[in-house]
């Protein structure tokens, strides 16, 4: 490690520095110090997101031009100190020490301090100053000092610390120009005296805090606080033992309703535009391979990527509002007690609940969980929660095989069956999480230590930037894979070509996908199913709802309105070559169980690969996820089918 560092970027820092090289600046600061807002104010729209090599920590970079020279700004993850505690903080540490792989050494450190909480934030600042790199301290939110009855003697602070201190207000842009000027000058200024006399030498964090307290006494005057702050009064309700979780669940319920009512029309609108494009292509191009490739392959592939965009944008807008307003920390604290017995933490609730809408944004949402193993466990079980794509499959099979017999007035057997599907998925997800955290993802339970930042109104600019970053990352990393897979599935469905003008069901059964269906028949036979289901299962790897349209094609039901109702009837009466009913009720129940548990979603697999570290590591986790869910699905389908036969559900009454 030491040898590597010595021969790596550290050694080259002073040797190779071409005059024209862009100045590199790193922003460090505690979480909740307004660092992202400051980053946005400094760089504007010129930003890009990448991952640090080998880990899933975001690397956000931006740039601005000053006096004709470009300045690159690296926004480091929020950290309380310069010691490796979580992966985020370890990255910040590596970058600061110039030993992060693939990252050029930093020329100037900018430490962002919340002026209102100077005492706590100076802890990190003094550690950074001790490194001896050129550094600029920013007193962010300095406009709030007057309202808080505080004043800071900035000149005294500069003298005491031996470093440049710039008051600024990131939300209004005040002081940003001064900060840019200070950054440009920082390289020429002498090092802070602190780099020669580190405070830690005297003895631990206590010594550092005692020194900071003496600095505070000299530089900060504070009017005595009267009464409870607004945040405390709000917290008195939101952190209540009973009300807290209830309020949180209500907030989530509203958010998911918004997800459905806003995202679905947007997705439908996009689909309509794509359909119009498809119709245009059909009209202009002659029918044939090229038309099929462009319309069903390419446009279909684009559609399968774009359909996720509104959901991801809305979910991250919502998470952004929760996080930036300060509520997410409270929710994590309040829900922790309920998630702890499962081996998860309070923050796992958001991805798990998002899973009811769609596993893809839900897995992206696990990024708020800092602890690696808890995050992995959450990622592994999220796809077990019944997402909205399973609903058409449930609806079709329940309509076909479960009578609408009324039970206790308002409720029917069909409604109860649907509820049972959702419960089954939820229980399986929570149970698996518990199992994983006790076996392969075992770690000592972490103590719950959360800082609750004061409530603030989120900045629209930061929110917009966050949402755009998320969508861009999804499109670039997962979108390309999802697109490629949908085109591949189109090819499997369309080739080899059957004789000209063959009916759709004949073409499907003779295609490569049809052959796959036949090939998997031995695997679905023990479940009481036939090759046609095998084809539909294989096709539904693109997205589960494709099961319905594939079955419609197989049974010659025209696509479009009323497809599901007519198809349900066909399925119920379908007969095999021997004249016997194709699907018994027991087999249908088994199939339902299969769809509750199986990971029939290439988009989820693509996102899991990316979010669990990418490369072979990510592929390994995704393969594990797929395999355990398939085993669970097949096993429970088999048990349900056998149990169904045993209690006499082998046929129809």
Partner 1 sequence: MPLRRLKRWWNAWSAAPARVACAVDCAVDCDVERSGDCALAACKAGACATVLRVTCAALDAHRLSTLGVYEGAIVSVVDRRSGVLLDVCGTRLALNDAIAGAILVRPVAA
Phi/psi-derived region of residue 225, left when phi > 0, alpha when psi is between -120 and 50, beta in every other case: beta
126/157 Cα distance (integer angstroms)? 12
Cα–Cα distances in Å, from 134 out to 29, 84, 434? 16, 22, 48
What is the DSSP code (8-state) at residue 407? E
Q: How far is CA 79 from the centre of its chain?
A: 21
Nearest distance from C-beta of residue 380 to partner 1, angstroms: 24
- For residues 51 and 325, which CB has a smaller minimum distance to partner 1 in the complex? 325
Nearest distance from C-beta of residue 559 to partner 1, angstroms: 50
3-state class (DSSP) for residue 524: helix
What are the tokens at 537?
């299962």
* Binding region for partner 1 (CB under 8 A) out of 136-144, 182-190, 236-244, 385-393: 236-244
241 binds partner 1 (CB under 8 A): yes
116 binds partner 1 (CB under 8 A): yes
* Binding region for partner 1 (CB under 8 A) out of 117-125, 133-141, 266-274, 434-442: 117-125
Residue selected from 452, 472, 481, 619 as contacting partner 1 according to rule CB under 8 A:
452
3-state class (DSSP) for residue 636: helix
Residue selected from 404, 451, 620, 639 as contacting partner 1 according to rule CB under 8 A:
451
Binding mask 317-356 for partner 1 (x = CB under 8 A): ------------x---xx-xx-------------------
Listed residue (527, 486, 526, 533) closest to 509, CA to CA = 533
Cα–Cα distances in Å, from 470 out to 48, 126, 206? 11, 33, 40
Contact present, 126 and 199 (Cβ < 8 Å): yes
Contact present, 539 and 546 (Cβ < 8 Å): yes
- For residues 119 and 153, which CB has a smaller minimum distance to partner 1 in the complex? 119
- For residues 242 and 408, which CB has a smaller minimum distance to partner 1 in the complex? 242
* Binding region for partner 1 (CB under 8 A) out of 171-179, 182-190, 203-211, 458-466: 203-211
240 binds partner 1 (CB under 8 A): yes
Beta strands (DSSP E) in 516-593 are none
Per CB under 8 A, contacts with partner 1 among 40-99 are 80-81, 83, 85
- How many other C-beta atoms are found inside a 10 Å radius of the C-beta of residue 277? 16
Residue selected from 117, 291, 412, 469 as contacting partner 1 according to rule CB under 8 A:
117
In sequence order, the 6+-apart residues with CB closer than 8 A to the CB of 494 are: 292, 296, 297, 507, 511
* Binding region for partner 1 (CB under 8 A) out of 6-14, 439-447, 510-518, 614-622: 439-447
The owner of tokens 């005595």 is 224
Nearest distance from C-beta of residue 96 to partner 1, angstroms: 15
What is the DSSP code (8-state) at residue 561? T
Contact present, 389 and 544 (Cβ < 8 Å): yes
- For residues 213 and 404, which CB has a smaller minimum distance to partner 1 in the complex? 213
Residue selected from 68, 204, 224, 560 as contacting partner 1 according to rule CB under 8 A:
204
108, β-bridge pairs: 25
* Binding region for partner 1 (CB under 8 A) out of 111-119, 179-187, 280-288, 354-362: 111-119
576 binds partner 1 (CB under 8 A): no
Instruction: Look at the alpha carbons of 110, 116, 118, 124 in this order and tell me if their dihedral is positive or negative.
Output: negative
233 binds partner 1 (CB under 8 A): no
397/417 Cα distance (integer angstroms)? 10
- For residues 153 and 268, which CB has a smaller minimum distance to partner 1 in the complex? 153
464 binds partner 1 (CB under 8 A): no
Nearest distance from C-beta of residue 222 to partner 1, angstroms: 9
222/226 Cα distance (integer angstroms)? 12
Nearest distance from C-beta of residue 241 to partner 1, angstroms: 5
261 binds partner 1 (CB under 8 A): no
545/597 Cα distance (integer angstroms)? 15
State the number of binding residues for partner 1 (CB under 8 A). 38
In sequence order, the 6+-apart residues with CB closer than 8 A to the CB of 93 are: 79, 82, 83, 84
Binding mask 121-160 for partner 1 (x = CB under 8 A): --x-------------------------------------
Residue selected from 65, 279, 448, 639 as contacting partner 1 according to rule CB under 8 A:
448
- For residues 83 and 250, which CB has a smaller minimum distance to partner 1 in the complex? 83
291 binds partner 1 (CB under 8 A): no
488/494 Cα distance (integer angstroms)? 10
* Binding region for partner 1 (CB under 8 A) out of 10-18, 233-241, 279-287, 430-438: 233-241
596, β-bridge pairs: none
DSSP string, 100-150: -TT-PPPSEEEEEEEGGGHHHHHHHHHHHHHTTS-EEEEEETGGGTTTTTE
227 binds partner 1 (CB under 8 A): no
Burial of 495 (0-12, 13-18, 19+ CB in 10 A): middle
Nearest distance from C-beta of residue 247 to partner 1, angstroms: 13
Listed residue (590, 594, 552) closest to 570, CA to CA = 552
Strands 135-140 and 164-167: parallel
Residue selected from 51, 160, 195, 231 as contacting partner 1 according to rule CB under 8 A:
231
Nearest distance from C-beta of residue 604 to partner 1, angstroms: 33
Nearest distance from C-beta of residue 62 to partner 1, angstroms: 28
209 binds partner 1 (CB under 8 A): yes
Per CB under 8 A, contacts with partner 1 among 267-286 are none
Residue selected from 239, 258, 456, 566 as contacting partner 1 according to rule CB under 8 A:
239
Residue selected from 232, 525, 559, 616 as contacting partner 1 according to rule CB under 8 A:
232
CB-side neighbour CA atoms (13 Å) of 322: 20
611 binds partner 1 (CB under 8 A): no
Residues at the interface with partner 1 (CB under 8 A): 80-81, 83, 85, 116-117, 119-120, 123, 204-206, 209-210, 231-232, 235-236, 239-242, 244, 329, 333-334, 336-337, 444, 446-454
């Amino acid at each position: 490690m030491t040898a590597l560092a010595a021969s790596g970027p550290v050694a080259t820092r002073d040797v190779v520095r071409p005059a024209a090289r862009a100045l590199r600046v790193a922003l460090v600061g505690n979480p909740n110090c307004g660092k992202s807002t400051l980053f946005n104010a400094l760089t504007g729209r010129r930003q890009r997101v990448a991952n640090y090599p080998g880990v899933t920590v975001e690397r956000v970079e931006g740039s601005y031009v000053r006096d004709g020279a470009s300045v690159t700004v690296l926004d480091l993850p929020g950290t309380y100190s310069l010691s490796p505690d979580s992966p985020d903080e370890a990255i910040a540490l590596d970058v600061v020490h110039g030993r992060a792989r693939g990252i050029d050494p930093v020329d100037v450190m900018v430490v962002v301090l919340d002026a209102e909480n100077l005492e706590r934030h100076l802890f990190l600042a003094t550690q950074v100053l001790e490194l001896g790199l050129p550094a600029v301290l920013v007193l962010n939110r300095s406009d709030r000092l007057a309202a808080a009855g505080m004043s800071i003697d900035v000149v005294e602070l500069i003298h005491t610390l031996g470093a440049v201190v710039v008051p600024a207000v990131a939300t209004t842009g005040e002081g940003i120009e001064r900060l840019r000027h200070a950054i440009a000058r920082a390289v020429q200024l002498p090092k802070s005296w602190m780099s020669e006399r580190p405070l830690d030498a005297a003895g631990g964090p206590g010594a550092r805090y005692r020194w900071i307290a003496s600095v505070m006494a000299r530089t900060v005057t504070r009017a005595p606080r009267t009464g409870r702050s607004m945040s405390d009064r709000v917290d008195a309700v939101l952190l209540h033992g009973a009300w807290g979780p209830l309020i949180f669940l209500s907030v989530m319920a509203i958010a998911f309703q918004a997800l459905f009512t806003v995202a679905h029309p947007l997705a439908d609108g996009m689909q309509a535009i794509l359909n119009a494009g498809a119709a245009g292509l059909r009209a202009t191009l002659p029918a044939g391979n090229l038309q099929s490739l462009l319309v069903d392959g390419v446009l279909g592939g684009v559609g399968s990527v774009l359909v996720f965009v509104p959901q991801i944008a809305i979910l991250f807008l919502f998470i952004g509002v929760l996080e930036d307003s300060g509520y997410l920390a409270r929710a994590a604290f309040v829900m922790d007690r309920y998630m702890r017995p499962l081996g998860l933490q309070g923050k796992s609730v958001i991805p798990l609940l998002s899973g009811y809408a769609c596993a893809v944004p839900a897995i992206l949402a696990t990024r708020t969980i800092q602890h690696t193993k808890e995050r992995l466990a959450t990622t592994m079980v999220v796809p077990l929660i019944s997402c909205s794509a399973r609903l058409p499959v449930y609806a079709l099979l329940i309509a076909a095989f479960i009578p609408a017999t009324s039970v206790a007035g308002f409720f029917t057997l069909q409604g109860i069956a649907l509820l049972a599907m959702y419960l089954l998925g939820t229980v399986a997800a929570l149970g698996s999480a518990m199992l994983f955290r006790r076996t392969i993802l075992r770690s000592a339970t972490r103590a719950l230590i959360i800082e609750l930042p004061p409530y603030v109104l989120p900045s629209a600019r930061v929110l917009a930037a966050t949402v755009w970053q998320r969508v861009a990352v999804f499109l670039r990393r997962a979108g390309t894979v999802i697109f490629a897979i949908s085109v591949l599935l189109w090819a499997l469905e369309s080739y080899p070509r059957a004789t000209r003008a063959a009916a759709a069901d004949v073409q499907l059964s003779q295609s490569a996908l049809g052959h796959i269906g036949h090939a998997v028949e031995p695997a679905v036979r023990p479940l009481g199913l036939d090759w046609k289901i095998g084809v539909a299962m294989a096709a539904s790897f693109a997205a589960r709802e494709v099961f319905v349209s594939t079955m419609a094609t197989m049974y010659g039901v025209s696509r479009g309105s009323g497809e599901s109702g007519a198809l349900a009837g066909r399925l119920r009466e379908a007969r095999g070559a021997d004249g016997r009913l194709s699907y018994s009720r027991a087999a249908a129940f088994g199939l339902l169980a299969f769809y509750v548990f199986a990971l029939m979603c290439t988009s989820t697999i693509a996102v899991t690969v990316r979010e669990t570290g990418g490369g072979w590591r990510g592929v390994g986790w995704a393969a594990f996820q797929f395999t355990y869910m398939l085993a669970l699905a097949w096993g429970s389908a088999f048990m349900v089918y056998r149990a169904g036969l045993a209690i006499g559900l082998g046929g129809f009454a």
